[in-house]
Amino acid sequence: MNHALFIYNAAILDESLDGPGAVLIVEGKIRSVFQGYFTGAETVKSLAAAILAEDGYENNYTISYLDAKGLTVTPAFIDMHVHFRDPGFTQKEDLLSGLRAASAGGYGTVVTMPNTKPVISSAEQALEVNRRAAEIGLGTVIQSVSITRDFAGTDTAHLDELNRHSVPLITEDGHDVASSAVMLEAMTKASEKGIIVSCHSEDCSLAAAARPHRERALEIMRQYSLPAWGGNSEAEDVPEEALEEIEDEIAEANALLALAENVATSRNIEIARQAGCHVHICHISTAEAIDSVRDAKEFLRDEAADFYADMAVSAYDASLESRPFVPLPPAENGFSVTCEATPHHIALCGTDEPYIRAFVNPPLRTEEDRIVLLEAIRDGTVDVIATDHAPHTLEDKANGAPGFTGIETAYGICNSVLVKEGQISAKRLSQLMSANPARILGLNKGLLKSGYDADIALVDPDERWTVDSGEFFSKGKASPFDGSILTGKVKALFTAGRKIFG
């Protein structure tokens, strides 16, 4: 018996649609998307029956109807950067808690980072994580593989066994590959296989130089119970001298880490250009790093424009000489650049109280950097919003573990800061959170379009709600947004047409 689901009385939203409509799902795929007002149950039933009969199902189906009551139907979000800590660090997160958090956040697909224990350094390990996640049945996990074996920074032999269909992305996330020669070797192998190299761009020596400043700041913060995720202090009286010393140490660290990101972003792009590979820059956060990505994209656009201009001249010359014109295919170098931004870098300024003490890599940046990041989102330099969901125990956070729990708040943050404040349209947000990551990863997802996977979120873009990290499905409760009022709430999630949240 075949199954169909008709969602009606809805708003429909993706990168090219924004208005009233309805969606018919058959056997886990989007069958049809209708634009206009579909509010009457009888009309909807007649329409669904007619389409199913046209497809030859006749009475060999069961159909469910969902009155969305004005909620927005949008493609499920796709997160290219999460840490589910499984295997090895399941006190922080595991596949079940991570997938429950993801589904509550509207995410149907996530790419998990390989900085687990053991490090994921083979296709076999990655496929085992994917298999375990599939058994849970709460969305799709794509497990990435390390750039160097076991994060040792030297050996790339394991990349020879990978293929892009099972492992579309490799990364050393958590740090960078220190050796440029090793990175070139890895990127060359990735280019040959069509695998994306996702870079945590941070010069390792500069990051090491920043570490003592952070450690000194953390030492003082622990004395006064100041949390390392930008939350409110349990201590009522913190001496001004202590706060000033903390801020000075953090400022020193952040200046070094900004330089680390700038240097490494430029390096990784240049190595990718030489190798002819697709480099994806993780959690971009500084104005200079953004300029590096923008310059690389402009180079690629100019190169393409020059090629087609030359072809036009050649065609014109051929016509003048009455000879056939045979166009040449573009050179297949394979070099391309994409990048992602996180909700916390979009929303928060790292020089403001209390966020100056919110420890994350890369750090929260200056307001000038944040404004440049918003511009990069508007002008298309930024391709993807990814959460860098990084849950930790509260004890680990107190000891300076970088990162926040973020997958359950991402939509609310981005809708509040980007759409409601007029930075971008709702369609552009859908592109950043669904369509573009699907394209980059080669997934049949991310659009409300016939034949696409029926991974669909129902959201209320106007619902105001208060973040309570204690209610997170994630094991990680450290969030700089705890207590914030956001606008935009995920109400339900369907993957392959099956409801998994809400």
Residues with a catalytic annotation lie at: 388
Length of the chain: 502
Q: What is the sign of the dihedral through the CA atoms of 480, 482, 486 and 489?
A: positive
Q: Are 4 and 64 in contact (CB under 8 A)?
A: yes
Q: How far is CA 377 from CA 33, 339, 385, 386, 428, in A?
A: 28, 10, 9, 13, 9
Distance of alpha carbon 175 from the chain centroid: 18
CA distance 431 to 426: 9
CA distance 215 to 210: 9
CA distance 312 to 222: 67
Nearest residue to 243 via CA among 398, 404, 353 = 353
Local structure of residue 215 (DSSP, 8 states): H
Nearest residue to 167 via CA among 130, 117, 116, 140 = 130
Contacts for 23 with CB less than 8 Å, ≥ 6 apart:
6, 7, 10, 12, 30, 32, 33, 34, 73, 448, 454, 456
Backbone angles phi, psi at 379, to 5 degrees: -90, 0
Contacts for 58 with CB less than 8 Å, ≥ 6 apart:
52
Q: Which helix (H) or strand (E) holds 491?
A: strand 485-495
3-state secondary structure of 352: coil
Instruction: Tell me the one-letter amino acid at 281.
Output: I
